Structure 1
Amino acid sequence: MAMSVGGDSTETPMSDINTTPLVDVMLVLLIIFLIAVPVVLQTVPVKLPDVQYDPTQTKPENVMLSIRSEDGQTCQVYWGMTPVGHQELQDMAVAKLKAVVDKLGSNITPDDLPEVHIRGDVNTPYKCIGGAIYTMQSAGFARVGFISQPTKLGALTR
């Protein structure tokens, strides 16, 4: 590296940019990113938090779905107490949402729209519950919630 001392008698200002601090900062940033990127890309095994049980506020227009699978392959979906198939679930959901929207008119807020409450059996595969969620969301329901039953210990430690 060369440095101009300014020994000549003309004393003109130096017009070269000093890039040394810029290079130093860039090298430090490069080292920081080389250390930080592998930390971000690694997956960490996580234990999901315990569920806090809040009381469900049920509106009469909410849809209650129960989903179970006895053999692990076939999905059984119940609208209330009535068993429904995939297409029937889609048609009933669209009809229900259309009836609520027609009833409310043009003054609709997101809080006025019905919700879907899903009760899933413990042994039900995710594909059954995920399929019901997808069907209800494609029908227009924006809010989907899960109903669970707290353990006796969970009910006491609030």
Structure 2
Amino acid sequence: MAMGSFNSPGTQMPTAEINMTPLVDVMLVLLIIFIITAPLMTHSVKVDLPRAASTPTPEKPMTLQVSITGESLIYVGNATVDRNGLEQKFREAVAQDANVEMHLKADRDTRYETVAETMSAARRAGLTKIGFVTQPASEQR
């Protein structure tokens, strides 16, 4: 839209305006192209797949929750176990499920000796999968 100015009436300066018509034309053409091609993208090829029988996936192995407190008390599940009966408890778990996993939670103040003895008893009992449970850094004290 041209605006007048206070300059002399015979010398008008050209004004620069954006012509929206080509932009709208291009957008309408793209819209029509997408409307036409969208149903073609969902077209699938009918394939008659062969049928096969397979064994079901194995269930998740049993987990053995072992916790050690700062006072060196050892818990298997919710029951307190003394160090002498620990290996026997692990053997019972291995007898139930050969792929049993041990999740070891040790308090920050636990002596390393207690953790090492617990891991050694688990290894002697036949536990091969031992994992340490930790707390993410953002949730620590």
Bucket of the pairwise TM-score, normalised by the shorter protein = 0.5 to 0.7
Q: Secondary structure at the match of 2:122?
A: helix
Q: Which amino acid is the alignment partner of residue 64 of structure 1?
A: Q
Partner of 1:18: none
Give the Å deviation of 1:68.
1.6
Partner of 2:123: 137
Partner of 2:134: 148
**TM-aligned CA distance change 1:82 to 1:124, over 3 Å:** same
Q: Deviations over 1:118-156 (max 9, x none)?
A: 0000011100111100000100001111000012189xx
Partner of 2:94: 97
Partner of 1:122: 108
- C-alpha distance in structure 2 between counterparts of 1:90 and 1:153, whole Å: 33
Partner of 2:54: none
Give the Å deviation of 1:60.
6.0
Greater than 2 Å deviation, 4+ residue runs = none
- C-alpha distance in structure 1 between counterparts of 2:62 and 2:139, whole Å: 32
User: Tell me, which stretches of 5 or more residues in structure 1 are unaligned?
Assistant: 1-58, 102-112
Q: Deviations over 1:31-53 (max 9, x none)?
A: xxxxxxxxxxxxxxxxxxxxxxx
Normalization by structure 1: what TM-score? 0.47
**TM-aligned CA distance change 1:153 to 1:136, over 3 Å:** closer
The alignment-based identity, stated in percent, is 25
Q: Deviations over 1:3-37 (max 9, x none)?
A: xxxxxxxxxxxxxxxxxxxxxxxxxxxxxxxxxxx
Partner of 1:67: 68
User: Tell me, which stretches of 5 or more residues in structure 2 are unaligned?
Assistant: 1-59
Q: Deviations over 1:52-78 (max 9, x none)?
A: xxxxxxx461110000233xxxx2100
**TM-aligned CA distance change 1:153 to 1:90, over 3 Å:** closer
Normalization by structure 2: what TM-score? 0.53
Q: Secondary structure at the match of 1:124?
A: coil
Larger Rg: 2
